[in-house]
A and B are shown apart, each in its own frame.
Chain A
Amino acid sequence: EAGVAQSPRYKIIEKRQSVAFWCNPISGHATLYWYQQILGQGPKLLIQFQNNGVVDDSQLPKDRFSAERLKGVDSTLKIQPAKLEDSAVYLCASSPIAGLEKLFFGSGTQLSVL
């Protein structure tokens, strides 16, 4: 079974530039999550999708972050404009159904904002 796919693996940008991350969850997984993991910290939830609808985006900085999950499959997370404090690993995770505790994580995209 293929795992959660994320790209790119690494991204280096200057502050005020924009960046986008892509995630393809495990086939058939209805729930998709984006987490932000700052170095030395645990993952922090940014947004949760159930199929192509948003379940919770209360911790997403909506002035600069946006996310979509068209057709309920893959998802894109965008940052525009980026700030220095956005430097982190952005993890995508999926689970088969909402409320299922086990999450399957991708390897993440490491973002450096200079």
Chain B
Amino acid sequence: QQQVKQSPQSLIVQKGGISIINCAYENTAFDYFPWYQQFPGKGPALLIAIRPDVSEKKEGRFTISFNKSAKQFSLHIMDSQPGDSATYFCAASSSGSARQLTFGSGTQLTVLP
């Protein structure tokens, strides 16, 4: 029940296109859903996060869409750039778990120039 399932495993997008990464969860106690971006040789860095009281959050070219009834959330990268090429992880946490993050398995995004 602690799992967060992420898809696709890898994604190739042309420059300027839209990248979409999906995640699903089972634990209804989760109340915080961040996305982390990881470049090779670096640790993950927080990109954007959402709470279930809103259905969408946008920061620049990055948008999280959240569907509470379906227990799904997704990351949309608009106007994808080669510099966005990285591995993206969704995650989830709850106040009952001392805010420990459960990570998805990751999506390796490649944006072609």
What is A's interface to B at a CB cutoff of 8 Å? 4, 33, 40-45, 48, 55-56, 91, 93, 98-103, 105-108
Contacts and interface: CB of A to CB of B under 8 A. Distances in A.
Interface string B18-61: 00000000000000101000000111111001000000000000
A56 B100 contact: yes
Interface of B: 4, 6, 32, 34, 41-46, 49, 89, 91, 93, 95, 98-101, 103-106
B71 to A, nearest CB: 18
Contact of B89 (A4, A43, A48, A101): A43
Contacts of B41: 107
30 contacts: A33-B100, A40-B106, A41-B105, A42-B4, A42-B91, A42-B103, A42-B104, A42-B105, A43-B103, A45-B100, A48-B98, A48-B100, A56-B100, A91-B43, A91-B44, A98-B99, A99-B95, A100-B99, A101-B34, A101-B49, A101-B99, A101-B101, A102-B34, A102-B46, A103-B46, A105-B43, A105-B45, A107-B41, A107-B42, A108-B43
A55 B100 CA distance: 10
Given A55-B98, A98-B99, A105 B44 contact: yes
